[in-house]
Structure 1
Amino acid sequence: MATKCNIMTDSCCDFSAEEVEEAGIAWIPYTYTEAGKEDGLSGYDDLFQSRSAHEFYAAIKGGACPMTSQPSQIAYEQAFERVLATGVPTVHFCLSSGISGSYNGAVTALDRVREKHGGTLPTPIYVVDCLIGSTTQNLFIHRAVQKRDEGLTAEELVAWAEDARFHVHTIFMVDNLDALHRGGRIPKSVAVVGGMLDVKPLLTFRLDGSLAVMGVARGRRKAMRKMRDFYEALHLPTCEENAVAIGDADCAGDGDSLRASLLAGDGDLKVYRSTIGPTIGCHVGPDMLSCCFWGEDRRTPGFDDSKSKGKASK
């Protein structure tokens, strides 16, 4: 049965090239470049097709400091024209506007495409701000594909997405906060937390899609236990699907260890394993580990992950 809508997203979804093809979704790449260096770490975020994750993160460990760029207006317009040519309504899911300007860029580009078609598109295209990114976006897009395959129209998929994005819970660990501060994702006053000896910051997404430090842990092992505790406190297997997404930035052993720990408590749990892509990787650095899952509505009055604050603190 033919689907009633197309799905498009950006390379921050942390799908592999094989996964996007199997899921039948269109995607648009970010780019990254190391300014002032002819032989610097630069390229398209092509889902690690031209450069392996290990090669990318090894370069950063070696001192590379690449910065990222969202898709250009021309790239967005060309992508929208391609999905228009299919004659099938399309929903484009963007990386959080709280950490990137890509959502506004996509909306502007879509307005330009609409103008080229006389003010009305022959087939609808919708742009949705996910208010999440990376591993969380991976979990979200996997579910969106399932909803598409269940027969949802584009309008129904948009309505689902604008509610479901607030049921995704995120906790991720970074080695330090320097890269996030350098990229403007967090203020300097917050970045000093990462300078403490062997302290691993734990972060999450706010409702507006920006990042927040929710706690710290002494060392990676304790941080991973905090991540498991966070999952156990807030995961609702009856919300959307009994699934968790675990992503890593060239620390697959830690990701696999967390996966085994969660499966030990629930053998029916579906686990999506992903690698943190270059775009997010430029800002979080090597050894990031993330855990994302479905749970209670984060818009609930008074709900700010308070149920787990004690478990995600130092």
Structure 2
Amino acid sequence: MTVQIITDSGCDLPKQYVEQLNIHVLPLVVTINNEEKYDGESIEPKALYDEMRNGAAPKTAQAPPTMIKEALETCAKNNTPCIYITLSSGLSGTYQTAVLLAQEVLETYPNAEISIIDSQCASLGFGLAVYHTALFAQNGHSYEEVVEAARYYTSHTEHIFTVDDLEYLLRGGRVSKAAAFMGSLLKIKPVLHMEDGKLFPLEKIRGKKKVYARMIELMKERGQVLDQQLIGISHADDLEAAQTLKEMIMKETGCQDVMISMIGCAIGAHAGPGTIAMFFLKQPYQTN
């Protein structure tokens, strides 16, 4: 029996892969100009970034609990094992809510197979973990094997990224006002990563090309057999930068498989236009 993979829009996984692998994506909520929108449904990333460039300060909220419960109940009613992989609990309350709702569903359907997994990932790093897990499920593995694979992929995914304007991180409390001001004056760009499901700065570098070169150095230090991996790049309305980074990665690592996606509204609302990120596994998953 196929395992149903459920996730939320913080994964930034391109729609073609979502459809190909029958992944159920729940929308996170974005409030902009006092209107609530569903990420990827009633608002698209390009529109959000245009609004942000014009001064809008969007806020985000977790996936609607009614949608989460409905997705879990549908699987339980149909005797379909399901795994809900959520946006990092360090960035969203969706994981905690999903755990409580899963308990409610299991009270009604005690034999249902439901797992809620905190990805501790974001954007396409989260998306790649979901993609690999869904592909693993589609290949006919058992529910227990798919859960094990999901836990591996979510715990072995690396995130390295930079932002175009420190102002957006300032709004989210990620950098101080003084640091944002000096960074803007000196054209300093931070290199950040994910640690224990939260964003942390690693280094500050002056100049975009130097930042990309350093990001790739970090990837080569942290990742194994990069030439045999699917590497992800996500961007906040800067496809040209994503293509540049892709070419650099392919040249430096020998990787021939790179997925590029636009950063969705839920993540982009905090990172801001011009953010560029890359994702890879510390080492590929190997089954016995």
Q: Which amino acid aligns with 1:7?
A: I
Q: 1:222 aligns with which of 178, 201, 210?
A: 210
- Tell me the SS of whatever aligns to 2:133: helix
Report if the CA contact (8 A) 1:139-1:272 is conserved.
Answer: no
Q: Which amino acid aligns with 1:276?
A: I
Superposed CA deviations along residues 21-45 of structure 1, whole A, max 9, x for unmatched, are 11211111111113xx45x6x4110
- Tell me the SS of whatever aligns to 1:158: helix
Report if the CA contact (8 A) 2:230-2:259 is conserved.
Answer: yes
Alignment root-mean-square deviation, CA? 2.2
Q: 2:131 aligns with which of 142, 150, 158?
A: 142
Aligned to 2:250: 263
Distance 1:123 1:56, change over 3 A: same
Q: Does 1:182 align with 2:171?
A: yes
Cα distance between partner residues in 1 of 2:2 and 2:48: 38
Report if the CA contact (8 A) 1:175-1:194 is conserved.
Answer: no
Cα distance between partner residues in 1 of 2:258 and 2:93: 30
Aligned to 1:10: 8
Cα distance between partner residues in 1 of 2:78 and 2:187: 52
Aligned to 1:129: 118
Aligned to 1:202: 191
Q: 2:17 aligns with which of 1, 16, 19?
A: 19
The worse-fitting range, judged by mean Cα deviation, of 57-66 and 18-27 is 18-27
Cα distance between partner residues in 2 of 1:268 and 1:100: 32
TM-score by length of 1: 0.82
Report if the CA contact (8 A) 2:168-2:272 is conserved.
Answer: yes
Which segments of 5 or more consecutive residues in structure 2 lack a partner in the other structure? none
Which segments of 5 or more consecutive residues in structure 1 lack a partner in the other structure? 298-314
Distance 1:20 1:71, change over 3 A: same
Q: Does 1:111 align with 2:103?
A: yes
TM-score by length of 2: 0.89
Aligned to 1:302: none
Aligned to 1:279: 266
Superposed CA deviations along residues 234-287 of structure 1, whole A, max 9, x for unmatched, are 221279x51210000000000011111112245553111111000001010000
The worse-fitting range, judged by mean Cα deviation, of 279-288 and 13-22 is 13-22
Q: Which structure dedicates a bigger proportion of its chain to helix?
A: 2
